[in-house]
């Protein structure tokens, strides 16, 4: 980035915040309950106005959440254009709140008000199904603003206080509905605002460029809720991290980069742990095993001797019902394609409640809800975690389910994979299918 570009006094308009304006907000999310409001999340929103290569202003942001779940680090930052010619503005800044075991993205209003030219008391207008009404003057920390009430056909949703001179959002009080109509209240207030020097702007922009490039290389769409790095991605991040860490010093990206560093160490440890499990298990004779199927029958390794067996260990539960559903839809497709060749696919539902007679019925109902939803054709078995622990539970090394195992005709492990596969819609579970085909080739032919 050209440092000289940032030495210029760049204005969005006559009174708008300049490029280099840095804003820090603190906020809370509380849930309305019968006994009152309960704080479930606090957050910090850091934003800075930067310029793109054409000199047009953009808003870079970094979000820190505490409590109630949250995004992985690639989704904690972003870059967005400011108001377009129609006056509307995108809202990619979002919290991620866990509610009743489901994760819900919650949009957070952009710090610069998109209708500043309409900030006149008693002015009303409608945009995108929302009604806006400017009511009266308000002061927040000795800054003069106007109160704006935002409502829709279900009632008032936001109360904003916007600085009249600059259009900077001073405070937000918003009603949020999650799940089956459960009500939350989000509040946010500007804590500090400062103008960076030319050198600080350049350093902020340089680090941002590295982060955005990294985000793009990881193929993040903004909607992924988990982060599982492949070996080549880990190696690339490990190589680039020292430079990113150095560039982040003294910028708003410092906390985020520290988080990346911690996650990098965890991912490396996880990758090494899975590599160790794979080395230990692949080629190993599987110990005797037996599983109870949902149809009341039992099945064992001895029953399937001579076949290629695919075991898919995952938490088959109706709630929370989150995509990609353990990639079980793709596995069902593989089952339909390969079963006639002597392949036996078994989904193994991992739920510790199966070990408790009082709770097993609840676990079975939850599982059947998912099976009905997915219309899965392969057999389903139940495991309280005992068999998984014996075969190698990836969670013991910090890696996630699902676990995929391919067992050859001779009872030896041919394939061991933790987590989701990279999917191309026209190829499905290509890596797993290749392992199945290779195991089929090893079956002796008379």
Statement to judge: residues 310 and 420 lie in one domain: yes
Does 15 have pLDDT greater than 70?
Answer: no
Q: How far is CA 294 from the centre of its chain?
A: 32
Buried (b) or exposed (e) across 340-364, using 16+ Cβ within 10 A? eeebbbbbbbbbebbeeeeeeeebb
Statement to judge: residues 381 and 343 lie in one domain: yes
pLDDT at position 318 is: 83
**Got the DSSP string for 307-345?**
SEEEEEEE---SSS--TTGGGHHHHHHHHHHHGGGTEEE
Q: Average pLDDT, stretch 404-417?
A: 97
212 assigned to some structural domain = yes
Statement to judge: residues 226 and 246 lie in one domain: yes
pLDDT at position 4 is: 28
Statement to judge: residues 252 and 140 lie in one domain: no
Does 50 have pLDDT greater than 90?
Answer: yes
pLDDT at position 258 is: 97
Question: Whole domain around residue 65: which residue ranges?
Answer: 1-108+168-281
Q: Average pLDDT, stretch 334-347?
A: 95
181 assigned to some structural domain = yes
List C-alpha distances in Å: 29 to 62, 71, 387.
17, 15, 41
Statement to judge: residues 33 and 142 lie in one domain: no
Outline where DSSP puts E strands in 219-301. 290-293, 298-300
Do residues 183 and 104 touch, judged by C-beta distance below 8 A?
Answer: no
* Residue 24: strand pairing partners: 46, 192
Q: How confident is the model at residue 184 (pLDDT cuts 50, 70, 90)?
A: very high
pLDDT at position 2 is: 34
Phi first, then psi, for residue 166 (nearest 5°) are: -115, -20
Statement to judge: residues 58 and 101 lie in one domain: yes
Hunting for tokens 């193929």 — which residue is that? 219
3-state percent breakdown (helix, strand, coil) of the chain, nearest 5: 30, 35, 35
Query: H-helix or E-strand containing 403?
Result: strand 403-407
Does 173 have pLDDT greater than 90?
Answer: yes
Q: Average pLDDT, stretch 159-183?
A: 94
DSSP helix/strand/coil, 101: coil
Statement to judge: residues 92 and 182 lie in one domain: yes
Q: How confident is the model at residue 320 (pLDDT cuts 50, 70, 90)?
A: confident
446 assigned to some structural domain = no
Statement to judge: residues 393 and 363 lie in one domain: yes
Q: How confident is the model at residue 81 (pLDDT cuts 50, 70, 90)?
A: confident
Q: Say how far apart CA 165 and CA 17 lie, in whole Å.
A: 9
Statement to judge: residues 318 and 258 lie in one domain: no
List C-alpha distances in Å: 303 to 216, 266, 267, 356, 411.
48, 40, 38, 27, 11
Q: How confident is the model at residue 88 (pLDDT cuts 50, 70, 90)?
A: very low
pLDDT tens per residue across span 208-259: 999 999 999 988 888 888 888 888 899 999 999 999 999 999 999 999 999 9
Statement to judge: residues 247 and 195 lie in one domain: yes
* % residues pLDDT > 90 (the chain): 74
Structural domains counted in the chain: 3
Does 5 have pLDDT greater than 50?
Answer: no
Statement to judge: residues 85 and 206 lie in one domain: yes
pLDDT at position 426 is: 84
Q: How confident is the model at residue 83 (pLDDT cuts 50, 70, 90)?
A: low
pLDDT at position 62 is: 96
Statement to judge: residues 14 and 148 lie in one domain: no
State the distance between the two ends of the chain, measured CA to CA, in whole angstroms.
68
Phi first, then psi, for residue 121 (nearest 5°) are: -50, 140
* % residues pLDDT > 70 (the chain): 94
* Residue 165: strand pairing partners: none
Does 154 have pLDDT greater than 90?
Answer: no
Q: Read off the pTM.
A: 0.82
Lowest-pLDDT range of 5-19, 34-48, 390-404: 5-19
């Amino acid at each position: 980035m050209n440092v000289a570009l940032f030495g210029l006094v760049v204005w969005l308009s006559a009174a708008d915040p300049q490029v280099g304006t840095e804003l820090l907000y603190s906020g809370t999310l509380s849930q309305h309950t019968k006994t009152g409001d309960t704080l479930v999340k606090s957050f910090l929103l850091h934003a800075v106005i930067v310029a793109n290569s054409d000199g047009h202003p953009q808003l870079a942001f970094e979000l820190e959440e505490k409590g109630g779940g949250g995004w992985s680090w690639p989704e904690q930052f972003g870059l967005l254009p400011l108001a377009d010619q129609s006056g509307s503005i995108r809202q990619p800044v979002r919290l991620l709140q866990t509610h009743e075991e489901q994760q819900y993205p919650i949009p957070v209003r952009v710090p610069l008000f998109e209708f500043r030219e309409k900030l006149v008391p008693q002015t009303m207008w409608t945009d995108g199904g929302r009604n806006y009404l400017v009511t009266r003057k308000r002061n927040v920390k000795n800054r003069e603003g106007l109160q704006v009430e935002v409502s829709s056909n279900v009632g008032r949703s936001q109360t904003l206080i916007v600085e009249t001179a600059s259009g900077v959002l001073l405070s937000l009080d918003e009603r949020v509905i999650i799940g089956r109509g459960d009500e939350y209240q989000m509040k946010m207030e500007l804590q500090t605002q400062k103008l960076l020097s030319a050198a600080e702007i350049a350093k902020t922009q340089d680090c941002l460029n590295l982060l955005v490039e990294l985000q793009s290389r990881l193929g993040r769409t903004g909607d992924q809720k988990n982060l599982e790095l492949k070996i080549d991605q880990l190696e690339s991040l490990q190589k680039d991290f020292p430079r990113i860490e150095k560039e982040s010093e003294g910028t708003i990206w410092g906390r985020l980069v520290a988080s990346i560093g911690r996650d990098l160490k965890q991912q490396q440890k996880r990758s090494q742990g899975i590599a160790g499990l794979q080395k230990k298990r692949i080629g190993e004779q599987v110990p005797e095993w037996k599983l109870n199927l949902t149809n009341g029958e039992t099945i064992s390794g001895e029953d399937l001797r001579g076949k290629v067996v695919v075991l898919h260990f995952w938490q088959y539960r109706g709630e929370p019902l989150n995509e990609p559903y353990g990639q079980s839809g793709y596995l069902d497709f593989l089952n339909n394609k390969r079963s006639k060749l002597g392949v036996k696919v078994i989904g193994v539902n991992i739920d510790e409640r199966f070990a408790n007679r009082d709770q097993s019925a609840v676990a079975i109902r939850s599982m059947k809800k998912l099976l009905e939803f997915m219309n899965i054709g392969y057999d389903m078995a139940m495991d309280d975690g005992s068999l998984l622990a014996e075969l190698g539970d990836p969670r013991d090394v910090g890696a996630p389910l699902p676990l995929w195992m391919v067992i050859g005709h001779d009872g030896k492990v041919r394939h061991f994979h933790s987590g989701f596969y990279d999917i191309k819609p026209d190829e499905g579970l290509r890596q797993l299918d290749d392992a199945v085909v290779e195991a089929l080739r090893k079956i002796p032919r008379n």
